[in-house]
Amino acid sequence: MRLAVLALAITLPIAAQAPATMPLSDIRAGMKGYGRTVFQGGKIERFDFEVVGVQRNAYPGRGRIMIKASGGPLAETGILAGMSGSPCYIDGKLIGALSTGIQFEKDAIGGVTPIGEMLEQLRDIPETPSSRTPLILPKLEPPKVLKAALEGKMIPLDVLMGGDETSALPMAVAGTPLSPETQKLWSGLPIRFAAAPALSPTAGKEEASPLEPGGMAAISLMQGDLDMTAAGTISYVSGKRVLLFGHQLFNLGPLDLPLWSATVATVVPSYSSSFKMAMPVAQVGALRLDRSSGVAGLLGAEPRMVPLRVGLNLGGRKTLNFRFELMDNPILTPVLVATAVAQVLDSNIRGAGFQSLSLQGNIKLAGQNPIQVENVIADLNAGRMAQYVGAMLQAVTLNPFEKPTIDGISLNIKAEERLDLAGIADVRLLKARAKRGEVLPVLVTLQNIQGVRETATFNIQVPLSATKGKAILMVGDGFSLTAADPDQRAVEVTSLGDVVRLLNGALRNNHAYALLVQTQPGAGLRGARIEGIPPTIAALVGDNGSAAGNRLQRHVIGRAVLPLDREVRGLSQMEVEIE
């Protein structure tokens, strides 16, 4: 399975001199010039254009030059996706980079990002990747991110980034198209996926375009058994600095991604939006900056990628192994992992009928204990498994304490064509009163989808520290109990190590739990505590950001676990009198 994004790439003289430039203030309607781009193979060709007009404030503080282009295949295709970044010249001076087209256009009319804006935003390319702590938005304090992860739910990208799909930039993705469920993971980013046939390199025989203005370049978000690569054109070269696209990739600021040379197999005319079909050829450097006016990279630099291995056992009949390398970014790495998992499942297991997926694996972080990943999904929708894995990653990458170094992610998924699902049908206490220090027996009846019932016994130790009076017995699966907030005390999360301990102590949905809960005066962040983890309880902020003050809060005083080999669903509560 290959998912390739339509292409970019390069082969240029490292000592290239920066060209003379023309400021936006000197440009007038009717002026004529030429641009450079690749239409076939690696050969850079010229196209002609005439300035239609200038938008002085296309965006606040930013201008855009509108041109009508001609030459090559443009009369048939209009402006092509993949031409973004094509340098445009008047009187031999660089005015900017072609960056926009018009959907369903009949003439090749597009917008050019002024070179002055590109140089202003992209001049300071860092020699090394950023190691700063990722920013946590005010509404996404660690407890909310953690609770979402422990309910198996990813924070949507539109919440993280406030994206507006109406301003989407076309991202050409070739190969097996992303399923509708997988595409939802990307909702909120200014990007559209366009599916097209994938082409793979053939023994290095492709002609890479030169690493100079007008050459093609590729930026790899994911590579291996699933390729996702953004395609565009080199706009400007000075020494080892390279500017591309004339528009943002994601506008994420500092990045670290592989930069490839590329070749164009053909151009694909389309009534909607024509595009170049291209292939990466060789890695030549690293992308380091992503701004609204373009992206910038360094030739010869080495990017760091996150390795991911996914093993898929098809009911014991055979095992498939997949390997990926992913973009290392706090916001997008979890989405890329979820995308890889979703596409592996969508491409190799059936989409209808009874189905169960069991997952075991780990996330290895430098300087931390491995995070153990375990889950069972009995559902027709494999997207729940992808969401669970992505949510665990978000809890790690969106921590506000330090940027984690992910050494590797290893996942083993077993797919069975049956529904391994049990519901909690009944809960009974052998006695309604319990003394402090004694064991409280609890009978739980589980029922599968065929109606077959089985009974198990929990034995919960009532602690000597329990308060006389009423307590609540809560019996359920891990996700339901996490959502029900059995322990309302706040955990003070002060480090990445605390986050790792919380995730490793999470309630799982393939276990049944019995929790004994009492109320006591206290304050804290509701839903922040994960039962069984003993970090200091210290925070004094309520759900709405105000001081919580003293109030009655629930906390777990006793716990028992029933490990199972299936997904459990359901939640039952009843009162117990503590003597």
**pLDDT tens track for 90-132:** 999 999 999 988 878 888 999 999 999 999 988 888 887 776 6
Q: What are phi and psi of 149, to 5 degrees?
A: -65, -40
- Helix 383-397 to helix 142-150 angle, to the nearest 10 degrees? 150
CB 424 within 8 A of CB 192: no
The per-residue pLDDT of the chain, averaged, comes to: 82
pLDDT value at residue 360: 93
Tell me the mean pLDDT in the region 487-505: 79
Give the position of tokens 């930039």. Answer: 169
- Separation between Cα atoms, residue 567 and residue 446, nearest integer Å: 11
Tokens, residue 163: 């994206």
Sorted by where each begins, the domain ranges of the chain are 1-134+168-301, 306-416, 421-578
Tell me the mean pLDDT in the region 269-293: 88
Q: How many CB atoms lie within 10 A of CB 386?
A: 26
Indicate whether 64 pLDDT > 60: yes
Q: Which residue has the higher pLDDT, 140 or 276?
A: 276
On whether the pTM is more than 0.95, the answer is: no
- pLDDT category at 529 given cuts 50, 70, 90 is very low
Sheet-wide strand order for 511-522: 433-434, 571-578, 469-477, 511-522, 551-563
Q: Which of 447, 265, 227, 471 is nearest to 343 (CA)?
A: 227
Q: Assign domain 1-134+168-301 one CATH number from 1.10.1060.10, 2.40.10.10, 1.10.8.50, 3.40.50.300.
A: 2.40.10.10
Length of the chain: 579
- Helix 383-397 to helix 333-348 angle, to the nearest 10 degrees? 160
Q: Three-class SS of residue 559?
A: strand
